[in-house]
A and B are shown apart, each in its own frame.
Chain A
Amino acid sequence: MRTYLRHLDYMMLATALAITTYGLWILRNATRNDIPGDPTYYYNRQLAYAVVGVVGMLLISLVPPRFLRRINPLLYLFVVLTTMVVLVIGTSVQGGQRWINLGVFQFQPSELGKLLLIVGLAAWLGNRRNEWSPARLTLGALAYMALPALLVFAEPDFGTALVYAAVTLGMLFVLGAPWRHFAWLGLAFVVTLAMVFSIMPGLGVPVIKQYQMDRLTAFLHPSSSNIQGDGYHITQSMIAVGHGGVGGTGYAGATQTRLNYLPEHATDFIFSVVGEERGFVGAIWLLGLYALLIWRGLKVITISRSTFGSLVAAGIVSMLVFQIFINIGMTIGVAPITGIPLPFMSFGGTHTITNLFAIGVLQAIHVDAYRRAEPRLGGRGPMYG
């Protein structure tokens, strides 16, 4: 236990807690007028999720990584089964069937699936690393990811499916897949885009739904869209962010948020609230915290004694980077609207808990790196971090 306490990454812990707290504060202001007569409706719930998440994070950080590695088939099975269950008996919100109603809690398997997929895939890849050829590993990883990704895509939840893909690519990258694999994947991506957006609809086979198509392309021409459409979301979000200016408007002046011009300001567009209320300074502060967290995650990749640990860290870092970039990029018009939440900030139970659990997993790997006696990876050790 002493080792454990000594070797926790306290900077990572503090950063994760800081972002979560910041998110709670922003959420509290942003949703004050959303439920008439209950100004803290969202805040109270998010606070409960955060408490559960932090407690879970600390518990998970006690679990040795090799135990997670051992149960990886179970984790994968859990992801696939729960995602299937959602498709059969899930609860729909705004066209997406993504939740399982657990009474007090709406459980979203695809969110927890992100972390479970990372752990499962890391174990799967680590076990085969020196036995399979690189090409077989790459194809195998893609196939491993494809099943849950397709299930999630069918909900439909295109954003989460993209996260699965991004995570897989990140892990393959750190594993050392040859560069040409990524070139081929890039080519395949372009061909797929052409198929999905142009060729297949041209042949009369719609692959993605019209609203998904509109959302994905709206950021390219925001002003041309109608007032209720996704162009409206982007326009209002950019107005909110620009309205904040350098120093932000504060709560009272944040008219875009307060008067409900900014849609989905508790979930997908929470960053626009940061931009409006806290301005450039607040946004940069938040990005700085994320950068710190990612740096600590990258460090875990390098100090891990096992391929499994490094790959898990790589997956989590990829997940964070991808989600942060796509979500913030969406609110300021540089990325398509895909419904990807902002880690530690967006309102959502499974989402918040999953991210905190992921930090717990990173902590476990971090602690484990010191617990083992073997020589450490790389020249830089924890003494410097």
Chain B
Amino acid sequence: MVIQSPPNRPEPPPDKNQMMIRAATLGVIAVVLFGVLVFRLWALQVLHSDHYVAQANQNDVRQLPLPAPRGEIVDSSGKVLVKNTSHVLAEVNPAGLATRVDCTTFPADQRAKCNAVVAATPPGAVPRCAALKGQTRCLVLARLGQVLGMKTHEVWRAYEKTLYVNADGSGGCTPKAHAPCYVVNAGPPIPLKPASEPEVAYVLERRSQFPGVQFLQTTQRQYPFGDLMPNVLGYVSQISQAELKDSNFAGLTGGAMVGQAGAEYSYDRELRGTDGLLEQNYDATGRAVGPTYVQRAAQPGDTLQLTINSRLQKIAQKAVAYGIQVAHNDGEVTAHTGAIVAMNPQNGQIYAMASYPSYNPSVFLPPAKNAGKLYKDKYNQPLIDKTLEPKAPGSTFKPITATAAWNSGVLGPGSTLDCPGVFYRPGDFSHTPFPNWTTINLGTMDLQTALEQSCNTFFFQLGSKMYDLPNQGIAFQKTIRQYGFGKTPPMDLPVSPYFSGLVPDPAWRLQTYSKPIDQVWQPGYDIQMAIGQGDLTVSPMQLAVAYSAIANGGKLVTPHIGKALLDSQGNVVKRFDPAPQRDLHLSPTLLSEIRQGLYEASHSSLGTSSSVFGSYTPAVAGKTGTAEHPPDPSPNAWFASYAPADNPKLVVVALINDGGHGGVSAAPAARQVYQGFFHQRITNTVGTDASR
């Protein structure tokens, strides 16, 4: 009925007035609707445009860090100790691989197995390659492994090990412990192995056979001097979760490469530079579109110049080995580790800092396969810097005892004491003997002779007398601490808090021991400490700083290894010249007596190291130390010294652990360093050395 139209007939004219009004109303409605649109557009595009621009940018632009080249490390003569090498790393990008297994690509006879394995796999994950070899991803990886010279199971594991999930999709699965594990193809590209140029070319020419495979130009640390000074240089690796909270690494995010020890750690901020920013457009399906462009260029790190001289360092390193060899020849067969510190006594610049045995820091470069061996070597403990490890100092400590006695009034100008074969503390009813190194009474002597002949009983008396001072001779410990002992050296290397060294005192005893009888501070402790024995421990570095103070007239220098920062053109950006820690205000009379004693110790016929240095020029003033450390039968051999005696330019402290008598093994080792410093040309190209 509706679609049937009545026949056309002359049409009546429209009711013009009403229609006009209705048409106008229709126009008004249109105007209102357009007005709504215009106001809405105004709000979106004019008022709140910023908001949407930000969202649009967030949508499509992803920012990638552009790693800044890390600064090099050079020695005092400008020789490169640590540099960067660039290489190409083969990576597999999970985003380029399928997230599902397509069983139809399998040969007919394996399709049933494929379907069964896939059915048992949780959604979103794929089976491990070991569980289902025919997956496209596994074939690609195996192919890549052949190109890169990796075994098939190696390359599978290298790719999958960070992608394992449990059956419930949770992470942290390890195939052996919680089988079965599955793999989720997601996350950042996974680095496999450095690739050579022909390998890269081979893959790039056959792109379609290697989906997801990409190559990353990257840099790695290289150590031209090998194992010369890993303790000084440190190494670099990816920042750990704990390190993200370290103030030294403030502002860094996961994945950053940071210095882990040595100068790499303490100068990390300067070496690191500032990463740049790359931007890359992505489309709605997550594919990268177009080329990347540099939003902010990377700011390369500064070059760090060390005060270390690689030649002297090499000599020092060999000297420790030589000292150990000498000790072996002398029957001290257990000698196997040691340290030498050589520094400028005037300003604290460290010229050499040898810890033996050494290792090559390149073991920490990825994949760091052999780093574990270093941790496991409990006998040599190569990762422990022997220049910073505190040990009993033995007789090398006597000048410090003398200073304490002088400061507390026990010893004065012209004071003399007897040097018996054995010392008994007056009023000690237990009659404990404190023996000298000889049973013969060497007679009455002053301080310089006591140092020259290393008379223990002389110093036992000082220790005993200081104990009798009010407050149990705390003045003794006070002076020792003023010399910088008992505290980690304030230097530009990370020093473990365990390496502060121990200056025993009544408070420490009370805190450390539980039995009341052990908690009492006995006179014997001060007496032992007077000759650098007992619980006292000091590191070669601390001793070198103390001897620098004696050498330079009482300034306690700040030891440091950083000399300057250089920009990429080699211009000095910053010089490091840390102020001395404090002035010890040593009495000139005391100083001259100690210096004279140390000079005589290496020169007079009765001196402990005159056989080594008696006729050596320039004149070396030094004290041997033979520190017993029960239950080890062999004492540690020390030699602490400076030269030239009248105008000191170099302090050398040598320590041969289990090396026997200081004069036998440590002093000859120190002599090698003096020989290298004074009789072979050592160049410093950048900056002038006032001390030389």
Interface residues of A (CB under 8 A from B): 69-70, 72-73, 76-77, 80, 123-124, 126-130, 140, 143-144, 147, 170, 173-176, 236, 238-246, 255-256, 259-261, 275, 279-280, 283-284, 287, 290-291, 294-295, 298, 301-302, 304-308, 310, 314, 317-318, 321, 324-325, 328-329, 332-334, 374, 377-378
Contacts and interface: CB of A to CB of B under 8 A. Distances in A.
Nearest to A176: B18
A259 B29 CA distance: 37
B45 A70 contact: no
B5 A124 contact: yes
A255 B29 contact: no
A34 B266 CA distance: 54
B14 A242 contact: no
A310 B37 contact: no
Given A275-B45, A283-B41, A332-B41, A256 B56 contact: yes
A332 B40 CA distance: 7
Contacts of A261: 56, 59-60, 283-284
Interface stretch (B46-54, B65-73, B82-90, B417-425): B46-54
A124 B284 CA distance: 50
Interface string B14-41: 1110111011111101100110111011
A378 B5 CA distance: 29
B344 to A, nearest CB: 60
Given A307-B12, A321-B29, 12 more contacts: A73-B4, A129-B12, A176-B22, A239-B52, A242-B52, A290-B34, A307-B11, A314-B23, A329-B36, A329-B37, A329-B40, A333-B40
Contacts of A295: 27
A287 B2 contact: no
A147 B3 CA distance: 10
Nearest 6 A/B pairs, CB to CB: A242-B52, A243-B56, A280-B45, A259-B283, A245-B49, A301-B23
Contact of A291 (B16, B23, B34, B60): B34
B42 A280 contact: yes
19 contacts: A69-B8, A128-B6, A175-B22, A242-B49, A243-B52, A245-B49, A255-B60, A260-B283, A261-B284, A275-B45, A280-B42, A283-B45, A294-B30, A298-B23, A298-B30, A306-B13, A321-B30, A334-B37, A377-B16
Nearest to B31: A291
A142 to B, nearest CB: 10
A325 B40 CA distance: 12
Contacts of B20: 302, 377-378
Contacts of B51: 242
Contacts of A242: 44-45, 48-49, 51-53, 55-56
B3 A76 contact: yes
A147 B1 CA distance: 12
Among B15, B42, B281, chain A packs the most CB atoms within 10 A around the CB of B15
Nearest to A318: B26
B52 A238 contact: yes
A280 B39 CA distance: 11
B45 A298 contact: no
A290 B38 CA distance: 13
A307 B44 CA distance: 42
Question: For B16, B23, B55, which residue has the most chain A Cβ atoms within 10 angstroms?
Answer: B23
A246 B60 contact: no
A238 B52 CA distance: 8
A245 B18 contact: no
Point out which of A174, A306, A378 has the most chain B C-beta atoms below 10 A from its C-beta.
A174
Contact of A259 (B37, B44, B45, B282): B282
Nearest to A376: B16
A275 to B, nearest CB: 7
B431 interface: no
A176 B33 contact: no
Nearest to A288: B34
Contacts of B45: 241-242, 244-246, 275, 279-280, 283
B682 interface: no
A70 B6 CA distance: 11
Contact of B8 (A70, A174, A275): A70
Nearest to B37: A328
Contacts of B26: 170, 173-174, 298, 301, 314, 317-318, 321
From B14, B22, B55, name the one whose CB has the most chain A CB atoms within 10 angstroms.
B14
Contact of A77 (B3, B37, B42, B282): B3
Given A143-B2, A240-B56, A306-B14, A173 B30 contact: no
A242 B41 CA distance: 8
Contacts of A325: 33-34, 36-37
Contacts of A175: 19, 22
Given A238-B52, A314-B26, A305 B34 contact: no
B285 interface: yes
A337 B23 CA distance: 28
A378 B284 contact: no
B9 interface: yes
Contacts of A294: 27, 30
B297 interface: no
Contacts of B8: 69-70, 127
Given A255-B59, A255-B281, A259-B284, A174 B2 contact: no
A77 B4 CA distance: 10
B289 interface: yes
Contacts of A328: 37
Given A259-B289, A275-B41, A283-B41, A174 B23 contact: yes
Contacts of A80: 3
Nearest to A69: B8
Given A127-B6, A242-B49, A328-B37, A260 B19 contact: no
Contact of B53 (A130, A144, A245, A259): A245
Contacts of B9: 127
A147 B2 contact: yes
B21 to A, nearest CB: 9
Q: Which of A69, A129, A239 gathers most chain B CB within 10 Å?
A: A239
A350 to B, nearest CB: 23
A342 to B, nearest CB: 12
A176 B20 CA distance: 10
Contacts of A73: 3-5
Nearest to B41: A283
A314 B30 CA distance: 12
Contacts of B27: 294-295, 298
Contacts of B49: 242-246
A264 B413 CA distance: 100
Q: Which one of A76, A241, A308, A318 has the highest number of Cβ atoms from chain B below 10 Å of its Cβ?
A: A241
Residue with the greatest number of chain A CB neighbours at <10 A, chosen from B27, B40, B44, B45:
B45
Interface string B101-138: 00000000000000000000000000000000000000
Contacts of A123: 5
A243 B61 CA distance: 14
A241 B23 contact: no
Contact of A306 (B6, B11, B59, B60): B11
Nearest to B39: A334
Contacts of A174: 19, 22-23, 26
